[in-house]
Amino acid sequence: MSSTEIQDPTATTAAAPRTIDVEDPARGTTIRSIPVMDDDAVASLAARARVAQPGWAAAGFEARAEVFDRARRWLIVNGDRVIDTISRETGKTYEDASLEQTVAVQSFAFWAKNAAKYLADERVSPGSPLLVGAKVIVRYEAVGLVGVIGPWNYPLVNAFCDCVPALMAGNAVILKPSEITPLTALLVEEMMRDCGAPEGVFQIATGDGATGGAVVDVSDYVMFTGSTRTGRIVMERAAKTLTPVSLELGGKDAMIVCADADLDRAANAAAYYGMLNGGQVCISVERVYVEASVHDEFVAKVTAIVQKLRQGANEGPGTAEVGAVTFPPQLDIVRSHVEDAVAHGARIETGGSEGSAPGGGRFFQPTVLTGVDHGMRCMREETFGPTLPIMKVADVEEGIRMANDSDYGLQASVWTKDRAKGERIARRVEAGAVCVNDAILNYVAFGAPMGGWKTSGVGSRHGANGIRKYCRTQTIMIKRIAPRKDINMFPYTARKSKLLGRAVAMLYRR
């Protein structure tokens, strides 16, 4: 789940503001102001991090796991405060903010338990007759300082939770949260301090795009979540110092509904996963392809569900299903996609315009569009809002072809009662993850990699690579049988060369 952060984290200005106001987008009020850190301030954070990191790495997995075990309990004990902070700066509903807390708790537990296993020394088969008797070991060592640039849509799960495996690997981390939603990051900085993280091991760099650029410059590895456009800029800047990166970028995630699907489940899932967090989820359902024979029935079911959704600010559990639009420019994108679709012949089944809620705020009505095609922006560009365009297709083959007709390849889902058929379809969809009869929830399968194809990203989070990417590998070879001179050593002779040639031919001709 990622944001479409449009801010350029490498842009600089002659006179950057010293503070940025943080807004409650559901109420239209200012919560507080945060400082903008310049290059020198970020360099100071990096210097402190590099002093602290060796001791943190030397402490070992068990000591680091204890910190995250305490952090997991801290998140639960302080749950109301965490949920309120997330909700206020993002405009999420209570349940959407609570989901972030729940996933974070699971993330802490997973990495505390599995980090040592994923980073244990590995014995590798030499694989060469020249190395008979040799012992080959691959080991993992923390890169040093990891910079994480987080998005505004999930300031806990897609910002701090990317720091967790980096920290468990023994790195120090500087987290640069989005300037739109920095308060959750400041709260988890307090959490880490309360839970025993050494000073300097985890720090927050608040600020704007220029601050993000400075974090890229000081880091040994960069994890970025945001838009494809900004991801390219981050990668280009990191290339100047040969700093490796992992990028979780935009998505336009397709849902293929087969004629034999359970339409009630599919409709409920389309409404939920399309409108979850106000549609501001990179792995949300952004476009739907339905076989013609069940299209009208499916549309009727989805529309009936979406029409009943309540929208508004968080006033506690159960008070609203759809929250605010977090990022101001995103409202313009959502509106323009709907207007473009209508101008090209699409029909609005429900919603279609900016909404309102008591106390003001920034909202767009939950919207269902039909009569859409790939000539419309809503089917090709990431909307990142509470809209659900549904396209009629002749058959499954057309659905697969349309799903793959995209620059993005983050996630997708297939809906059919025939699970074997669903798996066959999933294998043909060009996306980093495909769910059959579900969507999004593969994110909490922490043991499996989650990453995008095409322009949806580079690298992955979760699974073994989700922590190994924050490490350098070292191969150690120990020769246990060591004569005074090996046959391949100098001097060369015709007899030795021919003998070695015949041996290779005998070994590999079979």
The tokens for 170 are: 């023994």
**Of 336, 283, 273, the residue nearest 460 (C-alpha):** 283
H/E segment holding residue 29: strand 29-35
Helix pair angle (39-59, 209-218), 10° resolution: 50
* 17-35 CB burial, b ≥16 within 10 A, e <16: eeebebbbbbbeeeeeebe
The shares of helix, strand and coil residues in the chain, as percent rounded to the nearest 5, are 45, 20, 35
Please give the positions annotated as active site: 248, 282
CB atoms within 10 A of CB 492: 9
CA max distance for the chain: 92
> DSSP label at 197?
P
Distance between CA 42 and CA 435 in Å, rounded?
40
Closest CA to 406 of 430, 376, 440: 430
Which token pair is 254? 């397709």
Indicate the helix (H) or strand (E) that contains 187.
helix 183-194
CA dihedral 504, 508, 509, 510 (to 10 degrees): 140
Q: How far apart are CA 236 and CA 139, in angstroms?
A: 29
